[in-house]
Amino acid sequence: MSKFSRRSFLAASAALAAAPALGPVFGAVPAFGDVDVAIVGAGAAGIAAARRIAAGGRRFALIEAGERIGGRCITDTASLSMPFDRGAHWLYARDSNPIMQLTAQTGLDVYPAPRGQKLRIGRRNAREGELEDFLAGLFRSKRAIVEAARGKTDIACSRALPKDLGDWQRTVEFVLGPYAYGRNLSEISAMDFAHSAERDLSAFCRQGLGALLAKLGGDIPVLLGAPATRIDWANGAVETAKGIFRARAIIVTASIGVLDSGKIKFSPDLPKRQLDAIGKLKMGSCERIALELAGNTLGLARDDLVFEKSEGARSASLLANVSGTNLFMVDVAGNFGRDLAAQGDKAMTAFATDWLADLFGNDVKTAIKKTAVTRWNAEPWTLGAMSVAAPGGENARKALLEPLRDRLWFAGEAAHETMWGTLGGAWESGERAADAVLKKIGRR
Ligand SMILES: Cc1cc2nc3c(=O)[nH]c(=O)nc-3n(C[C@H](O)[C@H](O)[C@H](O)COP(=O)(O)OP(=O)(O)OC[C@H]3O[C@@H](n4cnc5c(N)ncnc54)[C@H](O)[C@@H]3O)c2cc1C
């Protein structure tokens, strides 16, 4: 990762001629001053946009608030003995995911994720008939939500659920709401849910998905530790603590949580339509407790995904033996996960340990070697996990996608109508915003 320095005041497009291994070759980031495009945020969307703008031969500044790139897709190689993805880990819909086409260039090991999941009922695995009942309930519920989304009025997903789910109701609610989207079904727009693209047939990266994204962004010059504090989209200027950039076009990829927090001032104020859209797209909550065990004490296979038949909101998911290691990732999400995370690391680890012990026996307690937890809701430049439209927010993403005065474009996972909440969606939205900008200002 190139770091900003005044001596490196070179045109970002200077070295585009050579054919690179990972995409365009970049010059250094301009320290301040005039660029064609200012890109705020160096997560997946910002990286994708920067690569595209560079390929179009235009000068850009990639401006990042934090001290690293990757945003919500980051692999932690320090906390445990193996790499652990703190955020995105699944490359969903591998056949259509735009990142999939680039994985070969990174030299990392990407492999198909196993299909399906295991279901625990107390200390035993669900029998075949029980699993079928659960899957049938899941399928009927999805179909009912999609059906409800055909109506004129947007409603909460919870209102569309079949009434006869019986004792599978809590599990279905957990899997379709907190597990999939980080919010409870009562807080998710049925229309947004229905637009969400199928996430089946995924892939994993053995070294971590964050490591893969870091490779894709590794050559791009970026100005780190420079939060954008004011965006003047009438005149084309981005103010940061390290200087002001004047730009013909501005792409903003900060999360909905950051946009809603007011940390970035817009001048003039954003139009009501965009403000309403930001208000309707709430951040979901998804936090991870990573456990390094002494061995495969749970008796599960590589990359086994496990749910429990739950009776209440205190539930979680487990990804076991991640990429064949002794890493076990317990995800807590939705309102329960948010409240638990607010209680701190100890409470999170205690919950994960007890939850695993309830499902697999107490041996797990003595097998834990190291632990690590995430706190995405408290990350100042993220403030949550992924965007989800609240009921009535069915048009919010469309509004966010409208450029303002052909000067300001929003990109990022929230600005994708079908792949929202995903890494692939963020990447594609960054590319699309860059394409729209290049169409406006032209290529070189
Ligand atoms: C726990 C968790 C698990 C997930 N699991 C998956 C998964 O398995 N598969 C999947 O596809 N997706 C998953 N996601 C979602 C996925 O991580 C995101 O959709 C994607 O990474 C978002 O990318 P982005 O570029 O839109 O935003 P971000 O990654 O948030 O990037 C935005 C960047 O902007 C920076 N920024 C913010 N404000 C400013 C500012 N004022 N000035 C400058 N920079 C700023 C931030 O620091 C950040 O680097 C998960 C997310 C979480 C939290």
Atom of ligand 1 nearest to the CA of 97: 11
Q: Cα of 74 to ligand 1 centre, how many Å?
A: 9
The residue whose CA has the least distance to atom 48 of ligand 1 is 71
What would the pLDDT profile of 67-103 be if each residue is shown by its tens digit? 999 999 999 999 999 999 999 999 999 999 999 999 9
The pairing of beta strand 124-125 with beta strand 203-205: unpaired
The residue whose CA has the least distance to atom 20 of ligand 1 is 423
- At residue 224, the pLDDT reads 96
| 3-class state of residue 424 by DSSP | helix
Backbone angles phi, psi at 344, to 5 degrees: 105, 170
The pairing of beta strand 243-252 with beta strand 33-40: parallel
Q: Are 39 and 63 in contact (CB under 8 A)?
A: yes
Quick check: CB of 65 below 6 Å from ligand 1?
Answer: yes
Q: Cα of 71 to ligand 1 centre, how many Å?
A: 4
The residue whose CA has the least distance to atom 53 of ligand 1 is 385
Quick check: CB of 216 below 6 Å from ligand 1?
Answer: no
Quick check: CB of 227 below 6 Å from ligand 1?
Answer: yes
The residue whose CA has the least distance to atom 21 of ligand 1 is 72
Closest CA to 240 of 383, 33, 21: 33
Quick check: CB of 252 below 6 Å from ligand 1?
Answer: no
* d(C-alpha 51, C-alpha 431), whole Å: 8
Backbone angles phi, psi at 112, to 5 degrees: -65, 140
Q: Cα of 444 to ligand 1 centre, how many Å?
A: 30
Quick check: CB of 205 below 6 Å from ligand 1?
Answer: no
Average pLDDT over residues 48-70: 97
Q: Cα of 46 to ligand 1 centre, how many Å?
A: 10
What would the pLDDT profile of 148-181 be if each residue is shown by its tens digit? 999 999 999 999 999 999 999 999 999 999 999 9
Q: Are 148 and 183 in contact (CB under 8 A)?
A: no
Q: Are 376 and 382 in contact (CB under 8 A)?
A: yes
Q: Cα of 253 to ligand 1 centre, how many Å?
A: 9
How much is the mean pLDDT over the chain?
93
* d(C-alpha 281, C-alpha 320), whole Å: 32
In the numeric block, the tokens 């107490």 are attached to 362
pLDDT higher than threshold 50 for residue 16:
no
* d(C-alpha 340, C-alpha 216), whole Å: 34
Quick check: CB of 238 below 6 Å from ligand 1?
Answer: no
Q: Cα of 73 to ligand 1 centre, how many Å?
A: 6
Q: Cα of 382 to ligand 1 centre, how many Å?
A: 7
Q: 29 pLDDT band (50/70/90 cuts)?
A: low
Atom of ligand 1 nearest to the CA of 213: 21
Q: Name 228's bridge partners.
A: 240
Task: Determine the residue of 47, 283, 423, 431 to mutate for testing ligand 1's pocket, defined as the one with the most ligand atoms within 8 A of the Cβ atom.
Answer: 423
- At residue 1, the pLDDT reads 37
Q: Cα of 420 to ligand 1 centre, how many Å?
A: 11
Q: Cα of 110 to ligand 1 centre, how many Å?
A: 21
Q: Cα of 18 to ligand 1 centre, how many Å?
A: 31
Q: 273 pLDDT band (50/70/90 cuts)?
A: very high
* d(C-alpha 95, C-alpha 147), whole Å: 26
Q: Poorest-confidence range of 31-35, 93-97, 258-262, 353-357?
A: 31-35
* d(C-alpha 269, C-alpha 372), whole Å: 40
Q: Which two tokens stand for residue 15?
A: 């070295």
The enclosing H or E element of 217 equals: helix 209-217
Hey, where are the domains in the chain? 6-71+210-282+386-441, 128-195
Quote the Cα angle for 216-93-126, to 5°: 125
Quick check: CB of 382 below 6 Å from ligand 1?
Answer: yes
Q: Cα of 130 to ligand 1 centre, how many Å?
A: 36
What would the pLDDT profile of 301-359 be if each residue is shown by its tens digit? 999 999 999 999 999 999 999 999 999 999 999 999 999 999 999 999 999 999 999 99
Class of the CATH domain delimited by 6-71+210-282+386-441:
alpha beta
Quick check: CB of 97 below 6 Å from ligand 1?
Answer: no
Q: 296 pLDDT band (50/70/90 cuts)?
A: confident
What would the pLDDT profile of 387-439 be if each residue is shown by its tens digit? 999 999 999 999 999 999 999 999 999 999 999 999 999 999 999 999 999 99
Q: 297 pLDDT band (50/70/90 cuts)?
A: confident
Backbone angles phi, psi at 98, to 5 degrees: -65, -25
What would the pLDDT profile of 180-201 be if each residue is shown by its tens digit? 999 999 999 999 999 999 998 9
- At residue 28, the pLDDT reads 60
Q: Cα of 123 to ligand 1 centre, how many Å?
A: 36
Q: How far is CA 152 from CA 147, 148, 392, 396, 397, in A?
A: 11, 9, 11, 16, 18
Average pLDDT over residues 232-259: 96
Quick check: CB of 44 below 6 Å from ligand 1?
Answer: yes
Closest CA to 41 of 303, 217, 165, 304: 217
Quick check: CB of 411 below 6 Å from ligand 1?
Answer: no
Backbone angles phi, psi at 104, to 5 degrees: -60, -35
Q: Cα of 210 to ligand 1 centre, how many Å?
A: 11
Q: 33 pLDDT band (50/70/90 cuts)?
A: confident
pLDDT higher than threshold 90 for residue 18:
no
pTM here is 0.94
Quick check: CB of 137 below 6 Å from ligand 1?
Answer: no
